[in-house]
């Protein structure tokens, strides 16, 4: 198939970017979206132009590196997948495809379609862990039984890949779904409850400092999350935060 691509090009963080048009022939339906970009890049290189830089790594939907806004939606038109799992059979011959980087003040563009998501790392550093040292003699793993549905709920929250689609989708560029997923995972597990109050306060403080917007419960994040992280996690974080604030 033949595609008309409009792609954001930006030399570096300080440069002013713009959309550039490309026409690409010979795209096959069983290619992945990123393989389609690979082909475009091969063409550009052969013409002596600089290829389009985009983030990608595992190409199997788990590392969370790939991050493209495709036709106005994070990770493109399909749901429950990342860009690397998107295949060209979701498009038709002659389609125009607009490809942009994630847009958020807290995710500055590094080059072309690559953004800096280190804000997410800093939110995690503020408390996204349980403070235990490595020890040769910890408590036996089965010493504290955990109800299956609680463990499953914690797993559902923990499945977040930190891709940033929630921020990209949200009209407010809010990072609540991301932050709440980690807060939820630990708030649910007995091991995490010990420092739950400090954790939620510190992580929310960092999230606010990074310049993400406020949650207005539009639900866009939940729809676009490639791992189906639920809005319930945001409610849980709100709850945790309020109870932590009341406790002081």
Q: Which of residues 124-183 bind other proteins (CB under 8 A)?
A: 124-142, 144-148, 151-152, 154-155, 158-159, 161-162, 169, 171-174, 176
Query: Residue 74's closest CA among 231, 203, 215, 223?
Result: 223
Shortest separation between residue 112's beta carbon and other proteins, angstroms: 9
Count the site residues for other proteins by CB under 8 A: 132
Site string for other proteins, 83-102 (x = CB under 8 A): -xx-x-x--------x-x--
105 is a site residue for other proteins (CB under 8 A): yes
Shortest separation between residue 234's beta carbon and other proteins, angstroms: 7
CA-CA-CA-CA torsion sign (81, 84, 85, 88): positive
Residue from 192, 196, 197, 229 that binds other proteins (CB under 8 A)?
192
Query: Residue 7's closest CA among 42, 37, 39?
Result: 37
Helices and strands counted in the chain (H then E) = 9, 7
- Cα angle, residue 217 at apex, residues 116 and 188 outer, rounded to 5°: 80
Shortest separation between residue 93's beta carbon and other proteins, angstroms: 17
Q: Footprint of other proteins on residues 23-42 (CB under 8 A)?
A: 28, 30-32, 34-35, 38-39, 42
Neighbouring residues of 235: CB distance < 8 A, sequence distance ≥ 6: none
Q: Counting every residue, how long is the chain?
A: 248
């Amino acid at each position: 198939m033949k595609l008309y691509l409009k792609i954001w090009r930006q030399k570096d963080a300080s440069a002013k970017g713009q959309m550039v048009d490309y026409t690409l022939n010979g795209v096959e339906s069983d290619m992945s979206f990123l393989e389609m970009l690979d082909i475009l890049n091969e063409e550009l290189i052969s013409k002596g132009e600089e290829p389009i830089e985009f983030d990608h790594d595992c190409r199997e939907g788990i590392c969370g590196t790939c991050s493209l806004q495709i036709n106005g939606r994070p990770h493109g038109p399909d749901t429950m997948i990342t860009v690397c799992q998107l295949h060209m059979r979701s498009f038709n011959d002659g389609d125009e495809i607009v490809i942009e980087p994630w847009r958020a003040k807290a995710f500055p563009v590094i080059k072309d379609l690559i953004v800096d998501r280190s804000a997410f790392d800093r939110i995690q550093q503020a408390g996204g862990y349980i403070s235990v040292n490595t020890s040769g003699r910890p408590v036996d793993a089965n010493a504290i039984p955990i109800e299956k549905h609680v463990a499953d709920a914690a797993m559902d929250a923990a499945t977040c890949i930190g891709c940033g689609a929630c921020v990209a989708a949200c009209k407010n560029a809010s990072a609540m779904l991301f932050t709440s997923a980690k807060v939820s995972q630990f708030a649910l597990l007995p091991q995490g409850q010990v420092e739950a109050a400090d954790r939620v306060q510190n992580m929310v403080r960092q999230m606010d400092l990074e310049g993400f917007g406020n949650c207005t419960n539009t639900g866009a994040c939940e729809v676009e999350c490639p791992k189906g992280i639920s809005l319930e996690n945001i409610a849980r974080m709100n709850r945790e935060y309020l109870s932590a604030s009341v406790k002081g």
